[in-house]
Structure 1
């Protein structure tokens, strides 16, 4: 397997893709997750999931119970959704926290900032303190998090470099969009379930090679030859187009543009994967974020959120725009599911890459492979 991963990070002309085991073998996938989903900045949710102070939403990431909450001061935080007393799950369903987060088991209570604030009867009936219970050291376990373009990224193991450092290049690339973005609301979000490993959804999104056959409608006006590859090895990858056609409502009405954009964005747009599991779009009048939630080794739930440059846009146009994007993304389902089934073919060695067309996908494969190799090296050192 070590040699197989070395082959993945080879130059694209000779490289092979990730071996089948990374898509169908549970033990291999579990090790990969430690290195990739838990060891880097993975997408968890969006700020719009907890729009008001006190809003809380429980989320599981591959079995890890997490609690997303907007605290009393409006800051978004991510905690382990586990009481520090006996390990009880604190919040079972999305809800508003009124006052404190109360454990339903023994009523230990935490502030929305994670501080342990009450321990009823901990010292005996009617005694709410005990010298052996130090509230200051028994707050909720907070997971490092960072918000960019409303996406909440988390670093589960806490060992990654700061998000702003890791993604400095991408942040600079899209710096013109460093301005308010407004979630379109309930009619601007949807979910798509796919029987596939989440990495295959990333691989498909990275490239435009498949457009003529999978997205003939889109390709009719934004053709394959109108696209370019975005290859940033060890950082991110994706595709761009020189022919972005704005959605129009009745009488040619369009969504308002983001302010102060350069001419590049008049007819251009970019679609980038923030490794390992976030798919983003930058367009003059709206954008979207897709959080890929790996439910299992061969099940992925895609959480799609659409954003606009103004807090209020035409509702009829907004609904139609959501329907159009849903149609486009649904066209990819059979492809990513087909690739998942194909990975059970024992003769498949990870495949080959077109040096001209598959650069973005190779960048992703090489990034995953290098993270795994680095993780194995760290484990080997720790074991000495």
Structure 2
């Protein structure tokens, strides 16, 4: 088996990530934002992303300048009317981020604070709705990459439909790998990022919103640049973005959508990530490491490992040793101090993971950590 590197540098983070060369090359050409090529690419992206979530008839895909966080705030400001109240489900770092965005956007917000595991369940959501009948919307992060948890979107959507509460999903880290049916789940909005499972570059915020709600929101948003209704209707009428678009990033995303389709869509992409994840997790477990989460709640796009208890270990020295080998990993997030995270998204194959695993072992030995390591298993903490 060839275990050599396929890339000069590996970015093994929750995103941005290791981008295919074809995607990078797409950004080398300057394109006219009002030209037919750029307009066609924008439409191609919208059509493809709607097809991925069965939203072609029921939903609209709104493209917005900025990171995915811009799209989340735009969604809150545009889709939640005056008098509405948002329930934010928080069981990790990105649930906290959703709460911070909502509060900064002056959205009337209430929080359901839960531990990382066990996963949120029907009783949790129903109790929160019973306690606050004024709640009109609820939002939850599907893939909490701060730890690696995959949250139960289908359950939340079912409760929302039964209670007449509109459901928004932060699928920033999961869209493109985890299949989500926007129409069947009757989702109010899905927030998406290009630089995660779509394997593109950051710079475009994507909001897949229910058409009827988007139309009802005309004139509601207090922000000129975050008004999803105006952005969408302007693009529908003219083909153009309302403000100067990130043309190079759009070019990259169009190529990424084509690559995604060529791979077979979300299912085959998640299968590849799962194979990558298994090589990494099984390999490090054989070296004595333990994972923060049990496998049955983990999404195979990122793995979180407990730090070894060897006194020679520090994340700073481990990170530096990995960087010298052309590989970048991340520390844990908030709920997972004493951990490190390794993403398996991006232009990665099993060959890459075997190379990365070998380099990790070399780096640990370089900083004086004895293998097999003691992963120091610990319970998952609450936020």
TM-score w.r.t. the length of structure 1 is 0.31
Structure with the greater alpha carbon radius of gyration = 1
Q: Give the structure with the higher percent helix.
A: 2
Q: Give the structure with the higher percent strand.
A: 1
TM-score w.r.t. the length of structure 2 is 0.31
